[in-house]
Every structure is written in structure tokens, then in C-alpha cells.
Amino acid sequence: MGRIRLISLATLVVAGSVALAACSSSGGSKSSDSSTPAGTTSSSSSSSSSAPATTVSCPSGGTLNADGSSAQANAMTTFITAYQKACAGVTVNYTSTNSGQGVSDFTAGKIGFGGSDSALNPAKGEPAAATKACGSTALDIPMVTGPIAIAYNLAGVSNLTLNPTVLTQIFLGKITKWNDPAIAKINSGVTLPSTAISVFFRSDPSGTSKNFETYLQANDPTDFTYTPDKPWPGKTGSGENGSAKIASSLKSTPGGIGYVEWSYAGNNSLSVAKIDNGAGAVELTPATVGAFVSSAAVVGTGDDLSLKLDYAAKTPGAYPIDLVTYEIVCSKYKDAATGALVKSFLTFTSSAAQQATLPSQGYAPLPASVLTKVQAVVAKIS
């Protein structure tokens, strides 16, 4: 009996010591991490490794947690990897959820900053609630601009053009077949199948939805009668949770159409429609996005940098369905260490070198005029 007990005890001890060893190794992770940066990275390219070296002022250590908008999640992954490469002792976590959760978790004081595709909404008292949680003014800081791709799955059709009216009618269920005359009229020369249209929308409170709705309403107020908000108002089609699910659903559904941040469409090799806002069909490219976003104007007051995009503009060569995704931060953090982390990380992401990595991932950098203001505001965070 003694022997059995001994063996069983030994098992437990071994299991325990494994866990302990794991703990102690994480304590010393600072040195081991910096000594083996991407130890196994082979020669094949990665977007993150192409980032030019940026001089960063690293905090001595700590962990910064953030969550929110899935539209900016792919950019965040790259920013974080590059930042953690530069600052070995610091950890940044960004959990991809949705803009609604980014705002609510920030207001609840659970996270260092929240990612949201729309600025805090005064009509819902969001700035006041966030300011109360901060103990100082809460700010919207634009960081990444992301085109919203109208992605579709239609075998044999790779060159589809849509306009705001047709888009509204498709997404609200007034057009139900791909060979509808309204679609055929703006796609002469394209053979459209009679497949039924399956609409996919975001089921969670999404900033992508809100921006897309704002675009539809700005261009076709007669068909789109809803007030733009984070939940999608339409009744047609199926709702999916998060950008990644929209992309995977589109990929597996012939006849499907949905709106999703471009990086998800590109990573999944989905077809993306051209948009005709009245000045000719415009393909979605980094250049056409840049052409549109350069007109963004700051409408926030003081250090708040919420932007306004002119969705109804009929600029030739500008892709009109874009969103600006914000980081919601406190101007002065109750916990100075968190403030230092947020400041250091956002200084890094708003540097010209990091912004320059965005086009290769399906985003666009902030226009230079806005970027200068962002850098000035980030420098004031404490």
C-alpha cells in the first residue's frame, strides 16, 4: 500500500512541478523572448517582418489588454507583433469582438483602450459614461482606416459593379435574384446567373454595420429609412457574429453577399464588387481608399479626434465605403502604468513607419493631416 501511495504521490508531485516550472519560466520570459525573436521564422515573407524599424520608448514591463472592433483586429495583430518584437518585456492583447463590446468594456473599466469603428455616441451618453470611468476626458483617436468590401460568392462572375441604390435593395431584400434587371443594367457584358441572393449581415453590435448603414443612408435615403446604428436593422438574410464569420459564411455560400472589412475578404480570397457612386465604377485598391479618406475632416472637439467621412461624395477614383476605426482612450489614466503602456503603444501604431505597413494588409493609413493631430494627442496621454 505504501508503494502505491508513493507512486500516486509522485505523479501529483511531477504534475505540480511541471506547472511550477511553467510559472517560473514565464517569469524569466523577458530575457528568453528577446534572445530568440521569431526563432523559427523561416525565409518566407510575412507582412509583420517587413515593418521598418521604429524607435520606440518601451515601458519597463506590464500588460495592456484591449478589445473591440473586429474590423481593426488584423491590423492590431500586426501592430502588436511588431511592438512586442521591439519591447520584449511588454505584452499587448487585443481581443477581436465587436465595437459595441469595445465601448462597453472600456466604460466598465475592464480594458486599457477600446477598439470601435464609430466614435463614442453622445446621443447614448457614451462619452459621459466613458469619461466617468476614466476620471478624465475620454477621447476617440482614429488609428486605422479600413475599406468595407462588398464581398460576394458568385461562380464565374469576378467583375461585378454595384451602386448604392442596388446595394440597399439587395441588403434590405427588395432584390432577391442575381439576374435582377437592376443589377444587370449596371453590369452590361456580365453574365449573371439566376441564383438567389443570400445576404449576410453582422448579428453583433458592429461599427462596420453602422458605417455601412451611414453610407447607404447618405446615398439612398429613400430606400434606406433606418437611423444608422451598430445593430443591423434589416430583416433579410442571416446574421453572423464578427467579421471572420461573415467571411467564412460567404466562402461557403454560393450566391452570398455581405459587407466586411477588406482584410477579411482578401485573406479569404473572396470576390469584391466595384462601387459606382455616380462617378463611374471604382475598384477597391489602397489608392482608391486613400483618395476617399484624404477628405476626412475632424469633427471632434478639443483633443477628441472623431472624423466625418463624406459618404455621398461623387469623387472619381475614390472608393466610397470606408470606415475609420478608433481607439477609445482616457486622456489621463487613473493607473499611471496603464497610461504609460497606452501612450507607448499608440505612439508606436501612429508612427509613419507603422502606418506604412497597413496597405499590404487591406487597410489604409490615416491621411497625413489627421495623423499629425493623432500623434500630438497621443503624446498628451498620461
Partner 1 sequence: MTLAAETPTTAFASNLRARRTKNNIATVVMTGCFLVALVPLIWLLWTVISRGWRVMVHADWFSQDQRLTQDWRTPGGGALHAIIGTLEQVLVCSLISVPVGVLAAVYLVEYGTGKLRSAVTFMVDILTGVPSIVAALFIYLIFIIEFGAGFAGIYVSLALVLLMIPVIVRTTEEMLKLVPNELREASYALGVPKWKTIAKIVLPTAFSGILTGIVLGVARVAGETAPALILVQYSASRNSNLLHGNQASLPLFIYSQFPNYANVGSKENAFTHVKEVTNNYAAGRMWAAALTLILLIALLNLVARLISRRSKVSN
| Residues making contact with partner 1 (CB under 8 A) | 1, 4-5, 7-8, 11, 15-16, 18-19, 22-23, 25-27, 29, 33, 36-42, 44-49, 63, 65, 67, 77-78, 80-81, 84-85, 91, 93, 95-96, 108, 110, 242, 244-245, 248, 251, 262-263, 266-269, 285-286, 359-362
What are the backbone angles phi and psi of residue 68, rounded to the nearest 5°?
A: 135, -150
Strand partners, 95: 67
**Which cell goes with 181?**
434587371
> Please, what is the minimum distance in Å from the beta carbon of residue 298 to partner 1?
26
Of the two residues 7 and 53, which places its CB atom closer to partner 1 in the complex? Answer: 7
CA distances from 230 to 33, 158, 202 (A): 40, 30, 9
> Please, what is the minimum distance in Å from the beta carbon of residue 39 to partner 1?
6
> Please, what is the minimum distance in Å from the beta carbon of residue 111 to partner 1?
8
Side-chain-facing half-sphere of 156: CA atoms under 13 Å: 8
Of the two residues 27 and 156, which places its CB atom closer to partner 1 in the complex? Answer: 27
> Please, what is the minimum distance in Å from the beta carbon of residue 257 to partner 1?
18
Strand 138-152 to 113-116 pairing? unpaired
Of the two residues 155 and 379, which places its CB atom closer to partner 1 in the complex? Answer: 155
> Please, what is the minimum distance in Å from the beta carbon of residue 45 to partner 1?
5
The label of the residue with cell 459595441 reads 100
What does the angle CA 293 – CA 297 – CA 298 come to, to the nearest 5 degrees?
125
Of the two residues 238 and 375, which places its CB atom closer to partner 1 in the complex? Answer: 238
> Please, what is the minimum distance in Å from the beta carbon of residue 373 to partner 1?
26
Of the two residues 284 and 307, which places its CB atom closer to partner 1 in the complex? Answer: 284
Write out the H or E segment, with its range, that includes residue 62.
strand 62-68
Q: Which of 160, 68, 83, 5 is nearest to 341 (CA)?
A: 83
Of the two residues 80 and 183, which places its CB atom closer to partner 1 in the complex? Answer: 80
> Please, what is the minimum distance in Å from the beta carbon of residue 360 to partner 1?
5
Q: In what order do the strands lie in the sheet with 281-282?
A: 161-162, 274-276, 281-282
Write out the H or E segment, with its range, that includes residue 171.
helix 164-171
Write out the H or E segment, with its range, that includes residue 107.
helix 99-107
> Please, what is the minimum distance in Å from the beta carbon of residue 40 to partner 1?
3
How many angstroms separate the CA atoms of 318 and 292, rounded?
Answer: 5
> Please, what is the minimum distance in Å from the beta carbon of residue 276 to partner 1?
21
Estimate the crossing angle of helix 126-134 against helix 99-107, to 10 degrees. Answer: 40
The label of the residue with cell 453582422 reads 202
**Continuous H helices in the chain:** 2-27, 29-35, 73-86, 99-107, 126-134, 164-171, 181-185, 207-219, 243-252, 262-267, 286-293, 336-349, 352-355, 368-378
Of the two residues 11 and 176, which places its CB atom closer to partner 1 in the complex? Answer: 11
Of the two residues 29 and 227, which places its CB atom closer to partner 1 in the complex? Answer: 29
Of the two residues 22 and 53, which places its CB atom closer to partner 1 in the complex? Answer: 22
